[in-house]
Amino acid sequence: MTARRDIEAITERIRQRSKPGREAYLGRIAEASNRTANRAVLSCGNLAHGFAVCSPSEKVALGGDRVPNLGIITSYNDMLSAHQPFETFPALIKDAAREAGGIAQVAGGVPAMCDGVTQGQPGMELSLFSRDVIAMAAAIGLSHNMFDAAVYLGVCDKIVPGLVIAALTFGHLPAVFIPAGPMTTGLPNDEKAKVRQLYAEGKAGRAELLEAESKSYHGPGTCTFYGTANSNQMLMEIMGLHTPGTSFVNPGTPLRDALTREATKRALAITALGNAYTPVGRMIDERSIVNGIVGLHATGGSTNHTIHLIAMAAAAGIAITWQDISDLSEAVPLLARVYPNGLADVNHFHAAGGLGFLIRELLDEGILHEDVQTVWGEGLRPYAVEAKLGPDGGVVREAAPRESGDEKVLAPFKKAFQPTGGLKMLSGNLGHAVIKTSAVKPERRIIEAPAKVFDSQQGLNEAFKAGTLTGDFFAVIRFQGPKANGMPELHRLTTVLGVLQDRGQHVALVTDGRMSGASGKVPAAIHVTPEAVEDGPIARIHDGDIIRLDADAGTLEVLVPAGDFALRRAADSDLIANEFGFGRELFAGFRQMVGRADHGASAFGNSVAEFALL
C-alpha cells in the first residue's frame, strides 16, 4: 500500500508541475484536430500531388475523405539488424489497410544508426543528436497533412524516442508503434563478454573476438541483451503504444506478420473517421509516463531513458525530473534478470512469461496505473496477456501465465530480486548524476577512492594498456557531455573497468557522458550535470582527489574542502578534433543549442521540462 501511495503522490506531483505546459499542449492538438485532421483543407493541387501514384479508386476515396489514410513512418535500412525486417512491412501494412477498407502510404523515412557499429568511433558523437533528427524527419513526412493516423516502424536506441517525440508533436493523430522483434538467441551474452575481457587483456586474438561477436549478433532483429533497444520495446508496450503482447516476438515468423497486420487495422479503427478516435497526445498522459518509468525500474532497463523519457514527456507537455525517476525507483521492485542484470536474454524473458506476466504482477499490486488509455482501448489490464497465432492465421491472446516459467529470469512480485528498481539519482558537490544499481553487487555500491582524470575514453584505454591503472580508483572521464561532443556512449570502458574489478581492484566511473543499457557490474555515476564544458564541478577534479560514491544514500562527492574546490580553475579541453569528420561539422548547431542531460539533452530549445525546472 505504501508503494501504491508513493506512486500516486509522484504522479500527482508531475501532474501539478506540468499543468501549464500540458494545458497549452492539449489546446494545440485540439486546434490541430479541428483544423487539419482531414484532407478537405488541401487544395486540388495539393491532393493531386499527394495521391498521384494511387489507384483511381484510391484517388476518389482520398479526395472525398471517405476512408482513413494511414501514414507509415519507417526507419528501415538493411545494415541495422533490428530494422532490416522492416523492408517487407510497408507492403504488408498496405495490404492489411486495404482489407480494412483504408489506404496506407509511406509518409517518410527516418535515419537509423547502430550504436553497436559506432561504439568507440567518431560516428557515436552523432548518436544522441540523431534522436532529434529522427523526430524532425518524421515531422517532415507527416507535414503533408494527408493522414488520419500513423504507424511508426522503429526499434533501437534513439529511433523510438525520436519517433515518440514526432508522434506527440502530431498529437492529434492516432499513433501505433510496430516493432520487428529480437533476433533469436545466439552465443550467450556472458560468454561474449568473457571473450571481450580476454581480448582486452591480450589473451585472445581479433579472430576469436570477431567469431564471438558474430555468433552473438548473428541475424535479423534486436540484440538480445536488455539494452536501450529492448527497453524501448518494453516502454512502448507498457505505455500502450503497442498492441498487447507485441514486443518480443521474433522477426520473420507468422505471428510477427499477423501482429503487424493487426496493428495496421487497429490504427485505422481509432481515427477521427470512426467511433474510437484516440489521438495519441490525449492518450499519453502523466499516468502513461509513470507507467513507463515503473516498467523501466521493474526490468532493470537502460540508463539512456533517464534522458529520453524526459524529452519524450516534454513533447506531450509533461515535465518529469531525475528526482521523479529516482523516487519511483524506491517504490518499484526489480522483477527481471536479463543481461547485463543476469545471464538470460530477452528471448528467455519472453519465454518465462514476458511483459504480460510482469504487467499483471505490477497491476495486481497497484504499482501501475490501470486506468489509462491505450491504442487497444481503455485500461492496461488487456496487456496482461500472451499473443499467439490462431488457427486462422490471426492473433489470439491468452491470459499471461500465473507462474513464471523461470523465476531466475522473471520473478513474481512477492519474490522480487530486490525491493527497489535499478536506477537512482546521485547528488552532491559534483552536481547530479545517474547510476544503474541493478547489476552492481551491494558490496560495491559504496566506494571511496582517488581520482584518475581523463578527457576521453581513449585516454583511459591507453593507460590500461600501459599498465598504469593500479590500485583502487575512480576513472573520471569528462568533456563527454552534450555540448562538448554530443554525449557519446562510453560502452568500451565497461570491458576495461570490468577486467580491473575482476582482478580485485575497487574501481568506479564518473563521467558527463553516457553509458548504454549494456552498462553493467562496475558502479558508474553517469550523465554528470552540469557538464565539464559548462564549467561543471567535474572540470575541477584533480588526479588524486578522493571521491566518494554512495549509491544507497544517493550521494556523489569529491572530498576536497569547499573553499579550496571553489577556487580551482576549471580545466580546458581542446575539442577541435571533435568538430570535424564523419559529419560532425554538420552538427555544430546542435552542440550549441542542446540542453542539459537532466532536461532531456534536447536541441529543440527551451522545452517544457526546462521551463518547469528553471
Q: Which residues are annotated as a binding site for [4Fe-4S] cluster?
A: 156, 223
* CA–CA gap between residue 343 and residue 408 (Å, rounded): 9
Cell, residue 161: 524516442
Kindly give, in sequence order, each residue whose CB lies less than 8 Å from that of residue 44, ignoring residues fewer than 6 positions away. Answer: none
Give helix then strand counts, H and E, for the chain: 23, 16
Neighbouring C-beta atoms of residue 532, cutoff 10 Å: 28
Whether the link from the prior residue into 68 is cis, omega within 30° of 0, is no
* CA–CA gap between residue 607 and residue 503 (Å, rounded): 45
Cell, residue 154: 522503429
Return the H-helix or E-strand segment holding 317: none
* CA–CA gap between residue 380 and residue 368 (Å, rounded): 9
Pairing state of beta strands 473-477 and 507-511? parallel
Whether the link from the prior residue into 340 is cis, omega within 30° of 0, is yes
Question: What φ, ψ does residue 398 adopt, rounded to 5°?
Answer: -120, 155
Pairing state of beta strands 395-399 and 423-428? unpaired
Closest-CA residue to 432 (of 609, 608, 606, 554)? 554
* CA–CA gap between residue 145 and residue 585 (Å, rounded): 33
Residue whose cell numbers read 524529452: 311
93, 237, 247 from 181: Cα distances, Å: 16, 12, 6
H-type alpha helices, 352-505: 354-364, 457-466, 482-485, 492-502
Closest-CA residue to 575 (of 567, 585, 566, 583)? 585
What secondary structure letter does DSSP report for 376?
Answer: T
Kindly give, in sequence order, each residue whose CB lies less than 8 Å from that of residue 388, ignoring residues fewer than 6 positions away. Answer: 255, 395, 396, 397, 398
What secondary structure letter does DSSP report for 501?
Answer: H
Q: Coil, strand, or helix at residue 550?
A: strand
* CA–CA gap between residue 484 and residue 176 (Å, rounded): 35
**Could you report how far apart the first and last alpha carbons of the chain are, in Å?**
34
* CA–CA gap between residue 501 and residue 509 (Å, rounded): 12
The annotated binding site is made up of 156, 223
Residue 402 burial by CB count (10 A; 0-12/13-18/19+): exposed, middle or buried? exposed
DSSP string, 17-74: HHHHHHHHHHHHHHHHHHHHSSGGGS-HHHHHHHTTTS-HHHHHHHHTT-S-EEEEEE
The one-letter amino acid code at 20 reads P
DSSP string, 234-282: HHHHHTT-SPTT-TTPPTTSHHHHHHHHHHHHHHHHTSTTSS----HHH
